[in-house]
């Protein structure tokens, strides 16, 4: 499955790698002159940890991955880590293989249960001979963050649901809901709410006869509308008038087309039918959940190009 987020993750990793490599290079050079004096190394690491929130833990290993120092943290040191053999750790395999600097993938820390990183920098003399390694753990909260929200245009995603539901699919049949009985009124009212009252994301729960909506005036929370509200044209009076959202990328005239297609998919088949559907006018995405518990997320125009034959094979 293609991801629009993972490229952003890699971009941020490269920023952090450059930032941490520079700082660990400077500290590794200081460790070089003390490599045969573990007590002095402990003091050096402690001074760096206590001066900056950047470092979560610091330690120094010899060239075989045997730990020379305690694992030094802010205001304390884990003495029981001295003498630890780290050779089997995944990050050590890269370091022992010749990488001068290695930054791990993010992981959830064992104690604090927070996203963390581990980095390892070779301690080498002027001839390039490796005498040991400087290791560091980082809490992602304490690291600089330069990422921006730029995930690009999402493509089509299909997600399989609960196998138990799929297994019993042909033993079920659509039950007419209160929304089904008034679906034209509901869709017309919601079209008006999207176009003239500031709703940028609307999700219909056809089987349970409700809708959830997000408004441009209060995007951090959502409203739940029941069937009585969704069939009452006076609902518009409860929401301020708003021009069609200037960030919307779905053309205003296509909102009705999307909702009409929702209706077709709801009534096209009595066994495989649309259970819920959503439209986000800002990111152009349509979300569909069928009775087989399969879900689809696809751009609006891709959705409108597909007829019932595509979805149901008839």
Q: Which residues contact 289 (CB under 8 A, 6 or more apart)?
A: 161, 274, 275, 276, 277, 295
Q: Report the distance separating Cα 106 and Cα 115, nearest Å.
A: 6
Instruction: Give domain 6-142's CATH number out of 2.40.400.10, 3.40.50.150, 3.30.450.20, 1.10.3720.10.
Output: 3.30.450.20
Structure tokens given for 276: 């819920």
Contact 94, 119 (CB under 8 A): no
pLDDT of residue 46: 95
pLDDT of residue 208: 94
Q: Which residues contact 215 (CB under 8 A, 6 or more apart)?
A: 197, 198, 199, 200, 223, 239
Nearest to 85 by CA among 120, 110, 61: 61
Sheet holding 210-215, edge to edge: 157-159, 295-299, 285-290, 274-280, 199-205, 210-215, 218-226
Q: Report the distance separating Cα 52 and Cα 73, nearest Å.
A: 11
Structure tokens given for 194: 């999207």
pLDDT of residue 1: 46
Question: 10-residue block means of pLDDT along the chain (314 residues)?
Answer: 68 88 94 94 94 92 94 92 90 83 88 89 93 94 71 59 52 85 96 96 96 95 95 91 95 96 90 92 94 84 82 58
To which H or E segment does residue 9 belong? Answer: helix 6-32
Q: How many CB atoms lie within 10 A of CB 61?
A: 22
Task: Classify each residue of 178-195 as buried b or exposed e, where b means 16 or more C-beta atoms within 10 Å of its C-beta.
Answer: bbbeebeebbebbbbbbb
Q: Where are the domains of the chain?
A: 6-142, 157-312
């Amino acid at each position: 499955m293609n991801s629009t987020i993972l490229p952003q993750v890699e971009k941020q990793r490269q920023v952090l790698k450059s930032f941490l490599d520079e700082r660990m290079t400077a500290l590794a050079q200081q460790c070089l002159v003390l490599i045969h004096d573990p007590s002095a190394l402990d003091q050096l690491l402690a001074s760096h940890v206590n001066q900056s929130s950047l470092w979560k833990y610091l330690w120094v290993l010899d060239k075989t991955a045997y730990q020379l120092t305690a694992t030094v943290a802010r205001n304390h040191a884990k003495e029981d880590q001295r003498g630890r053999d780290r050779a089997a750790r995944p990050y050590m395999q890269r370091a022992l293989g010749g990488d001068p600097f290695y930054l791990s993938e993010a992981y959830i820390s064992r104690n604090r249960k927070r996203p963390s990183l581990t980095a390892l920098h070779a301690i080498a003399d002027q001839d390039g001979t490796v005498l040991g390694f400087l290791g560091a753990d980082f809490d992602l909260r304490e690291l600089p963050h330069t990422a921006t929200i730029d995930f690009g245009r999402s493509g089509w995603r299909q997600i399989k649901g609960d196998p138990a539901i799929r297994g019993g699919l042909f033993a079920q049949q659509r039950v007419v809901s209160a929304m089904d009985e008034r679906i034209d009124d509901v869709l017309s009212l919601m079209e008006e709410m999207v176009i003239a009252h500031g709703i940028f994301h609307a999700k219909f729960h056809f089987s349970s006869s409700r809708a959830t909506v997000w408004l441009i005036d209060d995007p951090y929370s959502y409203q739940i509308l029941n069937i009585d509200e969704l069939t009452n044209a006076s609902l518009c009076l409860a929401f301020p008038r708003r021009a069609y959202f200037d960030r919307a990328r779905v053309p205003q005239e296509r909102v009705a087309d999307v909702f009409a297609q929702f209706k077709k998919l709801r009534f096209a088949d009595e066994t495989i039918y649309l259970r819920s559907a959503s439209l986000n006018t800002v990111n152009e995405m349509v979300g569909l959940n069928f009775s087989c518990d399969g879900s689809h997320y696809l751009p609006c125009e891709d959705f409108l190009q597909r007829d019932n034959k595509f979805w149901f094979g008839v």
